[in-house]
Structure 1
């Protein structure tokens, strides 16, 4: 039997053992944040949960029980695997080698997790960085690596400045309609991105790809109804790999996506270290004029994405878990440091990723352990387990990401806002909220994620001010002042 099926069956056997040793769960309590506990009566809070004065990596790790740590590690493993194709794809956008994207995700994710700020946040390379960078890397020829490093270092410096200026606190300005619109747009973008695996296929290859994607999505959805001992993607992906290998299904794999060099394994896939502290480029006004707009675009978009990903973890409902508040500005600084460090290994920088943070939560990952496991597993996959990872079908990865898209889209809140806006005698603010939701959803999907959420916030805030002014004017008329 080939290597991939044998290893996959071995992995499934381990999962089966974990399922059999799942501990019985005790009484579940409702989720609490630090803010909630502080508002409670001291006696009540003390009876419900023992709250450490400071949340850091050591304190949080000490609070986790073995089953929780197992879930965190397994979730981080899934995220490491999910980040392989995305890192490769993002590197391709910027015209870089696939391994550049993978090692960028490693350094950004590792630094962000160790520096802290938001346990459970998944940071890696992103389209928010690679799309603007492509303007530099694809036009500078042989000097592209030097200019890329300079651009990312400048963007990291700007993001560090945002952190020092406490601009992370501005996330409180994000309104619920604009956030729901962002999530709707994000889900649609994720779903649309997966459709590429079906392009150019017909007959048996198309049918096989569709069936494997659907089966993977179905397994990921159904398994949590029976057990949460193992994240459902860790059941679905090995199963899809084993079945497709045994049946010799005509499917594209990760190896086909990246080429044999990426999954050759061993020490030869390690990145080289840049010996120069600063990139070898002319430091002139013309250079600054070329790099600054790109760096500013990267810093603003990564600023928003990191904060929104952090907010998603903080707002997620979790049972039997105390949720620490996000140290927003520390999370920004962690990503800035990770991006700058990655450039000395040929990397292109990154940010907090909402889709993968959402996937982490779906798999049960909420703490620093899952954030730290993700980059470590990413490195292990390309260095040690490369022969296995190369056989994972792209259709299975697409099926997994379709479930992330489904959980990102907010159909019920969107419907409730629409129903409230169009009901008879609806208040003006309900209509403004629905307008902000629609604009944010459409712009995030069709134009730009950052622009979409900013427009949603602006519409919501302006609408609120106008309605308040109109209300004051009506009160003035009723009182005879006007």
Structure 2
């Protein structure tokens, strides 16, 4: 007990230091970055609500709740989560056929599923997402972010183009003079003043949809608590939970790389679930991490949880107090910010790497980009990349295999090296062909597998087949050199009697 007390005190001290660092280690930059993110969230939250077929307040209140809650319980400091298009497109049929109350119920169930995923450590599945898939995911998102700005750049006045150009000039030019204030915030404020002062004919935030004029209130979904309701919402909730976690965990990995820090993916998974439940209880839709806003936050100096909380809190302040002014913010200013995000998100080094990297890696990256851009489905694009990575990896390991036949005085020795699994079993069975096919066929056969490893039941089945074939041809067969892991598989799954099987290195 005496030794445990200092350890507990050290843990408490470490916990307090972590809180200070994540919340109060970068106060000024985090607050300014949060303001920029809040302004950029407004048009996107409205747009995503419109996609889902619900009132703009559903998207805006969701962004407020998710950002503030995830700052408290999430695992990735500085990452922005809010209402997203990835979740919005999933719920279109649900809202159309059953109404917004069922959306709230589905969002609560979505959060509970994500919390369960954290308990089951499903975040570890991200280990199977290769770097090529992540690069493709990033590039696809950059392209989608840019494409999302095109409606604001078509059939508009020349003043719109001039303001976008001026916004980009400020965003990229101001940091050369000073970095005291985030350049995207300066661009938004200056262009808003110019647009209002001169009455320029440009689109504004208010034209995207009606902004709510009050605070969100606590609600419970007005749906019957029946088995039928569960059958309706469960398929949507599962899809929302999967898509939300996929985008959140990939975005967390990207922000890890941008900030050269690590994050707790299990905690992030649980945090996403809690945040979505919170969003639904204040009349919001589901959401997840947003790579665009996360890039804005990091580029504006945001690093801690305070920046994420400030984004949600300032967005709430804007909606409740400054709604009229927010509605007058010109869309060209926000378009300039999102173009900056698109440029900053795209992995430009991946273009010359197409020639330097292995062809299979380049194919995986390009396939991920193509599927995401064509379908606008992030999950489908990542799944495509993961499947291709698995196929290419299996094909590569399949070739790491060899069989050498050595004729001795009274026996023939087959030395097997490499990995024996489902993709290499055909080559394995062909290489250990019938001994009778050789002119110097021996009556005794030794299969030396000291340089090989058997990975699955397909490999054990192939060994069964080889031994059985040789014995039916009148050969005495002995398998030697099998390592312990392979031998355990044989003991469990082999059909043939392994008379003469020896573990350890075979004698030479």
Q: What range describes the TM-score normalised by the shorter chain of this pair?
A: 0.7 to 0.9
The structure that has the greater radius of gyration is 2
Aligned residue in 1 for 2:27: 69
Q: CA deviation at 1:328?
A: 0.8
Q: Tell me, what secondary structure is at the counterpart of 1:351?
A: strand
Aligned residue in 2 for 1:146: 101
Equivalent residues of 2:79, 2:308 under 8 A apart: yes
Aligned residue in 1 for 2:252: 310
Task: Say which of 215, 219, 236 aligns to 1:270.
Answer: 215
Q: 1 CA distance for matches of 2:303 and 2:387?
A: 31
Q: TM-score, normalised by structure 1?
A: 0.78
Q: 2 CA distance for matches of 1:169 and 1:230?
A: 38
Q: Is 2:401 the counterpart of 1:472? A: yes
Higher RCO (C-alpha 8 Å, min separation 6): 1
Task: Say which of 19, 28, 36 aligns to 1:58.
Answer: 19
Q: 2 CA distance for matches of 1:148 and 1:300?
A: 16
Map 1:30-41; keep pairs closer than 5 Å.
none
CA 1:188–1:368: 2 relative to 1, 3 Å = same
Q: CA deviation at 1:331?
A: 1.1
Q: 2 CA distance for matches of 1:449 and 1:329?
A: 21
Structure 2 residues not aligned, in runs of 5+: 1-12, 407-413, 417-430, 432-508
Deviations 1:258-303 (A, max 9, x none): 23xx26x4xxx222332x4x64225134x43332221111111001
Aligned residue in 1 for 2:10: none
Q: TM-score, normalised by structure 2?
A: 0.74
Counting strand residues as a fraction of each chain, which structure ranks higher? 2
Task: Say which of 241, 252, 264 aligns to 1:327.
Answer: 264
Q: CA deviation at 1:208?
A: 1.2
Task: Say which of 220, 234, 238 aligns to 1:292.
Answer: 234
RMSD over equivalenced CA pairs, Å:
2.3
Equivalent residues of 1:57, 1:116 under 8 A apart: no
Deviations 1:49-72 (A, max 9, x none): xxx7447762315772xxx32111
Q: 2 CA distance for matches of 1:369 and 1:179?
A: 27
CA 1:123–1:78: 2 relative to 1, 3 Å = same
Q: CA deviation at 1:218?
A: 2.4
Q: 2 CA distance for matches of 1:314 and 1:198?
A: 33
Q: 2 CA distance for matches of 1:182 and 1:116?
A: 22
Aligned residue in 2 for 1:436: 364
Task: Say which of 182, 190, 197 aligns to 2:145.
Answer: 190
Equivalent residues of 1:180, 1:414 under 8 A apart: no
For this pair of structures, how many residues does the alignment match?
398
CA 1:358–1:476: 2 relative to 1, 3 Å = farther
Aligned residue in 2 for 1:281: 224
Deviations 1:151-190 (A, max 9, x none): 1122112111111111112222221111110111000100
